[in-house]
Amino acid sequence: MVDIIQRCIVCGEDRTVGIAICEQFICQPCEQEMVKTDVLDEKYPFFIRQMKQIWLKKDA
Ligand SMILES: [Zn+2]
């Protein structure tokens, strides 16, 4: 793997480990946080809002 620093769209931090969805980067800590976050968790709407940015950028 090549260490490429990318900005996480969820936390805004520059990181090298994470996943890319539709050319948008989500760091590993955020990805794992999202996976374990329950729909009823207060953080969930935040993740959804951040994720929506991906779709908005994709359509642009
Ligand atoms: Zn992040």
- 33 in helix, strand or coil? helix
* Ligand 1 center–CA 59 separation, angstroms: 22
- The domain locations on the chain are 6-59
Which residue, among 55, 36, 37, 58, has the nearest Cα to 46 in the 3D structure?
A: 37
Tokens of 22: 């539709």
pLDDT of 32 reads 93
| pLDDT tens column, 11-40 | 999 999 999 888 889 999 999 998 899 989
* Ligand 1 center–CA 49 separation, angstroms: 14
Residue 1 has pLDDT above 70, yes or no: no
pLDDT of 10 reads 92
Residue 60 has pLDDT above 60, yes or no: no
User: Which DSSP helix (H) or strand (E) runs through 56?
Assistant: helix 44-59
**Ion ligand 1: residue ranges with CB closer than 5 A:** 8, 10-11, 27, 30
Model confidence pTM above 0.75: no
Tokens of 37: 């976050």
pLDDT of 23 reads 82
Nearest-angstrom CA–CA distance, 31 and 6: 14
Nearest-angstrom CA–CA distance, 9 and 54: 8
